[in-house]
Structure formats: structure tokens, C-alpha cells
């Protein structure tokens, strides 16, 4: 029967997918930390809005992230002693170079987020985009990026010296994704859309109708994210928070994040490292199996 055939195909796909993922089960964090919290920001500005052909008002909303939002986030991170990871498209280096330099000077990791928020389908063009972005980030920060939030192929990323990706979400813990042919593995630091500000605070999200708007009370998001943090804290683990300067850079959301980080810090053993620090720790202490 067609149903049975479809079921077997799904089972085979699920089995193969699971076989490629190696979860890091019990990786102890440095200095006895109970949880690693990666605070990340996708510095898209207006790039995704432009690719989607959205109207000028939406482009201006993205521009707010480069003119105002990123600076507010950097100030917030500094006030809490948080080392964040700023996933930055290469084109942003041309649009907001001072913000990129400021993030690096403050000690934050500046990582890859594609050239202009898309991964070309043609392998040669994809490689050119990745190299162009890495070169642009290195010119402004003095360091070549070793992490990415993108769908660049893992083989290409490894060839270009990248150590980790922060994109896929098959588990809540750091894990390795092995190539289907067994040729290598890439460390993935997962985030979830439930801990992504764009899911809660995006007006006119992807040209949606008014009835489908995602404008949530910051107090509600505070409670949701606090409970997500507490759950991970209780079991001892990992949390990746995904922010966008044009979204969370608004004053009322900065205030919410300030309260959230302050409350997190009341518990012992909370570590706020960059994604690079987590990646290097995992690779050194819990490397992938062959």
C-alpha cells in the first residue's frame, strides 16, 4: 500500500537523520558552570526585507537596527558583562562599519551570517559569498570568523576554517552533524524559534495580514524566556537566545532583556560566553566520534 511505503520511507529518513547527529551528552562547562547561555544577535538590518521585496516602511524598520538598535544592544551586553556573538552579513560591513568595529572592540565575537542574507545555489558563487564575507569581517575586526548562522554547506565551511554553525535545531544541546558520506562533522549550537525575538515582536512579518501580526507583550516574553532558561538550568545545559537589533533594539524590549539578564544572574553557575568559546570548549573536551 502507498501508506505503508510512505511510512517506511519516513522511517528510513528519520533513522538516517538520527545517525548523522551526535549529541554531546555530558559536557561539563568550565569552572563548574551549570549552564552556558549564548546571547546572539543577527545583525540583518534591512537586508532580508530587501530580498523579500518588502515596502519602504519595512526597510526603514530594518535600518533602525543599524542606526540605533545595535548600539543599544551593545550597551546592554556591556552592562551585564555578557560576551555576545553578533552574526553579521558581509554587506553590513559596508553599511554600518562603525557598529561592527564597536562590537569587536567590546570583545564580542563577530561571526558569519552570509553575504546578504542568502546562500546561492551555485557552489562556486556560494564559496565566493562565504569568502567575501569572511574577508569583510576580518578587515573590520582583525579576526577571521570561525562561526556561522547560515545554510552554507558544511564541507565548504570546514574547508574555509569554520569550527561551528548555529542554525539547525534537532536538539536543545550542542551536537555534531556528520556528513551523509562520513567525510566529516560540524558542531552545531542550536537555537529555537521560541527563543527568537522575531517570532514575538514582528509587525507585518513576511507581508502577513493584520490578523496574523506577532506583537506580544514584553512581560509575556519575559516569562516565557525565563521559564525556558529555568528548565535548562535545572537539568544543566545550554540556551541560545536569538535577537535582532531592529527588533529587540526598541527601548521597551531592551528594558525587558535587562530584567531577564539580571534575573538569570541571581542564580549561581550561569555562564554567558560567546559561541566561539562554547565551540572551542566542546571541540576540545567532547570531540566528534569517527
C-alpha cell at 134: 569572511
pLDDT for 200 equals 92
pLDDT for 183 equals 79
100-105-108 Cα angle (round to 5): 75
Q: pLDDT under 70 in the chain at which residues?
A: 1-4, 48-59, 203-213
Sequence spans of domains, the chain = 46-285
Measured over the CA atoms of residue 59, residue 61, residue 67 and residue 72, the dihedral's sign is: negative
Residue 42 belongs to what H/E stretch? Answer: strand 35-42
CA-closest candidate to residue 91, choices 63, 111, 119, 115: 115
Give me the CATH topology for the region 46-285. TIM Barrel (3.20.20)
pLDDT for 2 equals 63
Put simply, whether the predicted model's pTM sits higher than 0.75 gets the answer yes
pLDDT for 47 equals 72
Using CA atoms, how far apart are residues 134 and 99, in angstroms rounded to an integer?
17
- Tell me the pLDDT tens digit for each residue of 199-239: 998 765 555 665 566 789 999 999 999 999 999 999 989 99
- Tell me the pLDDT tens digit for each residue of 128-157: 999 999 999 999 999 999 999 999 999 999
pLDDT for 239 equals 98
pLDDT for 277 equals 99
Amino acid at each position: 500500500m502507498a501508506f505503508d511505503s510512505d511510512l517506511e520511507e519516513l522511517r528510513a529518513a528519520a533513522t538516517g537523520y538520527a545517525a548523522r547527529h551526535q549529541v554531546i551528552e555530558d559536557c561539563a562547562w568550565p569552572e563548574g558552570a551549570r549552564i552556558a547561555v549564548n546571547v546572539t544577535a543577527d545583525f540583518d538590518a534591512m537586508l532580508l526585507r530587501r530580498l523579500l521585496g518588502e515596502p519602504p516602511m519595512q526597510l526603514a524598520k530594518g535600518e533602525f537596527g543599524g542606526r540605533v538598535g545595535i548600539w543599544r544592544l551593545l550597551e546592554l551586553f556591556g552592562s551585564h558583562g555578557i560576551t555576545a556573538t553578533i552574526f553579521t552579513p558581509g554587506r553590513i560591513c559596508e553599511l554600518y562599519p562603525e557598529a561592527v568595529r564597536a562590537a569587536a572592540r567590546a570583545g564580542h565575537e563577530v561571526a558569519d551570517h552570509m553575504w546578504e542574507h542568502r546562500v546561492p545555489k551555485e557552489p562556486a558563487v556560494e564559496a565566493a559569498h562565504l569568502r567575501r564575507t569572511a574577508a569583510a569581517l576580518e578587515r573590520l575586526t582583525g579576526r577571521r570568523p570561525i562561526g556561522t548562522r547560515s545554510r552554507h554547506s558544511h564541507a565548504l565551511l570546514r574547508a574555509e576554517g569554520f569550527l561551528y554553525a548555529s542554525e539547525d535545531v534537532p536538539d536543545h544541546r550542542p551536537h555534531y552533524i556528520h556528513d551523509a558520506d562520513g567525510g566529516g562533522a560540524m558542531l552545531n549550537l542550536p537555537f529555537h524559534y521560541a527563543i527568537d525575538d522575531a517570532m514575538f515582536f514582528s509587525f507585518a512579518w513576511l507581508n502577513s495580514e493584520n490578523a496574523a501580526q506577532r506583537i506580544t507583550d514584553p512581560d509575556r516574553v519575559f516569562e516565557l524566556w525565563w521559564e525556558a532558561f529555568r528548565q535548562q538550568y535545572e537539568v544543566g545545559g545550554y540556551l541560545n537566545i536569538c535577537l535582532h537589533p531592529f527588533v529587540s533594539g526598541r527601548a521597551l524590549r531592551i528594558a525587558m532583556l535587562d530584567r531577564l539578564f539580571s534575573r538569570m544572574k541571581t542564580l549561581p553557575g550561569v555562564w554567558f560566553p560567546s559561541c566561539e568559546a562554547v565551540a572551542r570548549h566542546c571541540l576540545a573536551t567532547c570531540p566528534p566520534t569517527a
